[in-house]
Chain A
Amino acid sequence: MNKGHDQSQDHESSNTNVLTLDTGQNQNIEISIIGNPNVGKTSLFNILTGAKQYVANWPGVTVEKKVGTFKYKDATFKLVDLPGVYTLSSKSEDEKVAKDYIINKNYEIVILVADALNLESSMFLLLQLLEMNVNIILAINAIDEAKEKGRIIVPSPIIKTLNIPVVLTSARTGEGIDELLEVIYKYSLSKTKSRVKTRIKYPPNIDKFIQSFMELASNYPEIKINYSNYLENNWLPVYFLEFGNEDLNLPKSFLKELETLFDLDNLRAEYTKWKLDFISYLVSSSIINEGIDWSLRDILDHVLTHKVLGILIYIFAMFAVFSLTFNLAQPLSDLLELAFTSAGNYLSKVIPIPWLNSLVVEGVIGGVGGVLVFIPQIFILFFFLGFLEESGYLPRAAFLVDRIARSFGLSGRSFMSIILGFGCNVPAIISTKTIANKKERLALILSLPFASCSAKLPVYILLIGTFFSSNAALVLLLIYLSSIVLVLVSSKFLQRFITQSEDIPFIIELPRFRMPTFKNLAIYTWNRGKHFLQKAGGIILVATIIIWALSFFPNFGQDINSSYAAGIGKVFEPLTKHLGWDWRINTGLVFGIAAKEVVVSSYSTLFNVGEGSLSFALQNVLTPASALALIFFVLAYVPCFATLATIKSETNSWKWPIFTLFYTTVIAYLIANVVFFIGGIFI
């Protein structure tokens, strides 16, 4: 199965002893990492290969297979990181990728990574790999966490029963990594033939079935050709028993013959029962839980996912995050503002050319600076959201939203897209690919622009800070909750014109709670904040310069009220006058289509003030009710170009982005009017 190093005829009795190694031959030995999602595969991969990758708390990060190389002693290894799976069948893309890789056997050994706290869930895959006769090293990872929680792993029953090397590792503390390297080295270089193969002992009925199946199959040349991979080590009958004929497509006549010989349903039940018992035996003999209070986590889980309590806690958690954000960020933000104002004042004195002076001071520093003063809020908010996300709380919250989503006729998957949309609508819309029901998917795609993406934050912060500073967190919370409701109601509404089709059952799994490390949080925060900075230097800068030019010309800054910019905004004044929005508000909204932050930068430019007085300028123009209406309009109106382009590519038609353009604007306008009306009564 592997090229290069099995010339020696030596034999050894133990699978961990090594023989004389052929130096020079030990190049590019392919090994791979497989395991359940979220067990630390990528973390181990990174430690072994030194490749830099993003490590997160939740499963599913590894979609593609990743490859790296590393040296140990005189050998070089090629390491493949496989997607996280629980079984090897073809039931999902990830499983297919992993199964095809494993079955093709172009590797020397497979490292099965298991999570010490969830070792039970890895046993199925472990048996399956043994049934496929793969050379396995079992790495039981996160052993640090297991120790902390009083869980002791005793590897000897697994080593003895299954005859495989087992290493206890921690990708966090580095424990067991040296041993793992040593075992990889010895095990992959020891001669293939000399490895003691584990024979799995099946119940007699299953053995008989395997035998008859193979005998029968030998009469079918097409089986030999099409399933050669499965036939090695008798895996075909086992796979057939386990997963049925769905993705095998064995010849009909062969199946008929088989059915006359065996009661397949009974046999399948017997096989499953055997497997369950075997796994239960392995688990009970190798895991010791030292009287820990597991129930505490259960209680926590229970409360946090409770239908009513959970939602209240969620709302409170978000409220706490928003208040912390505002309170911690404000002084820093004020400081930045001061810096930009001083820079502007200084430059306005030293630049003698009037148009350049205006461009730099009012356009660039005023506009882009007006967005940049929100750096503290944005970074602090991402930091706290990162904490909620990495600790495992946010997925629980998402699970609650999911329950609600279902009563709006959306499937379980859809809520993920909504939460994703809070970051950015583009990946949110693409993520709807996983929703099988086409009509439901379309309704969701067209509603997702209502998910309040992070680009809208500066607009909220500016307006909330100006008009609602005493209730800042509360108003921001209201905006986010309204956003979720809007997406749900809109999908429900659009689905009214669509017939529903049947959905398949599934099970929802929540990741476990973890204390996030500061490093992970810092990476998380930086990655998200960086994007904001890049935009400030890119599209926001460009849009701001254009707005400045439109407001400066044709009369060279003499009268902004007759500038091109005013002309654009005045077109919409008849529609917005009663809401208290003048042309400047409207022009900002028009340019906000490019990127929502531009709304803020354009106000800084159009109100023609240093940042110090933008708040005052806004207070002179808007009432609190019109400001609130403006906030909700920004929440709902036209998505950015990138989102529209994504809708086009996902629906394969121009019809839908154009529909979205009108749909979101009409809805936004309606909401703005309702909010203005209600706000006028209460504020």
Chain B
Amino acid sequence: MNLEQIKEYIKENKELSLLDIKEKFNLSESEIKVLKPFLITFGIPLKTVNEIHSICEECPLNNSCKKKSEKDLGCCN
């Protein structure tokens, strides 16, 4: 696993999925898992496709949400 090469490849291609990298560099499932935190230290953030929240109390932004107090108005109309 050549970290430098992988780094360059990602910087050139902007938004990739881990699957793309796995295929390009012929890495095993295990190697990809080892690689993840290294990519983060290279300044390449890992964006996990997240849960789809639709209700205030589960909303990831619940704490910063100013609409919360207007519950009856249906804050998440």
Contact = CB atoms under 8 A, between A and B. Distances in A.
Interface string A278-306: 01100100010100001000100110010
Nearest to B42: A272
Interface string B1-20: 10110000011011111110
Given A86-B36, A124-B37, A509-B36, A276 B1 contact: yes
Interface residues of A, number: 92
Most A Cβ at <10 Å: residue of B1, B53, B58:
B53
A70 interface: no
A418 B65 CA distance: 18
A576 interface: no
Interface string B22-62: 00000001110110111111011111111111111111110
B10 A505 contact: yes
Most B Cβ at <10 Å: residue of A269, A424, A503, A528:
A424
Contacts of B70: 642, 645
Contacts of A396: 49
Contacts of B60: 60-61, 63, 427, 431
A531 B76 contact: yes
A425 B33 contact: no
Most B Cβ at <10 Å: residue of A59, A419, A506:
A506
Contact of A301 (B19, B33, B49, B57): B19
A87 B77 contact: no
Nearest to B74: A535
Most A Cβ at <10 Å: residue of B3, B33, B73, B77:
B77
B76 A642 contact: yes
Contacts of B18: 507-510
Interface stretch (A50-58, A100-108, A254-262, A551-559): A50-58
Contacts of B57: 54, 527
A506 B15 contact: yes
A426 interface: yes
B13 A505 contact: yes
B61 A431 contact: yes
Contacts of B47: 412-413, 506-509
A646 interface: yes
Given A279-B34, A507-B18, A508-B15, A398 B49 contact: yes
Given A91-B45, A507-B45, A427 B65 contact: yes
A539 B73 CA distance: 6
A642 B75 contact: yes
A281 to B, nearest CB: 11
A642 B50 contact: no
B67 A645 contact: yes
Contacts of A152: none
Contacts of A68: none
A125 B37 contact: yes
B7 to A, nearest CB: 10
A639 B58 CA distance: 22
Contacts of A505: 10-11, 13-16, 44
A89 B21 CA distance: 24
A511 B48 contact: yes
A476 to B, nearest CB: 17
Given A305-B17, A426-B65, A528 B54 contact: yes
Given A395-B49, A642-B77, 6 more contacts: A56-B51, A58-B48, A60-B60, A121-B33, A272-B3, A394-B52
Interface of A: 37-38, 54, 56-61, 63-64, 86-87, 89, 91-92, 118-121, 123-125, 242-243, 269, 272-273, 275-276, 279-280, 283, 287, 289, 294, 298, 301-302, 305, 389, 394-396, 398-399, 402, 406, 411-413, 416, 419-420, 422-427, 430-431, 433, 453-455, 503-511, 527-528, 531, 534-535, 538-539, 595-596, 639-643, 645-646, 649
20 contacts: A64-B63, A120-B33, A121-B33, A305-B19, A398-B52, A406-B15, A416-B52, A423-B54, A423-B55, A425-B77, A427-B56, A506-B44, A507-B18, A507-B39, A507-B44, A507-B46, A510-B19, A510-B48, A538-B74, A595-B77
Q: When A and B form their complex, which 3 residue pairs have the shortest distance between CB atoms, in order from nearest?
A: A423-B54, A424-B76, A124-B37
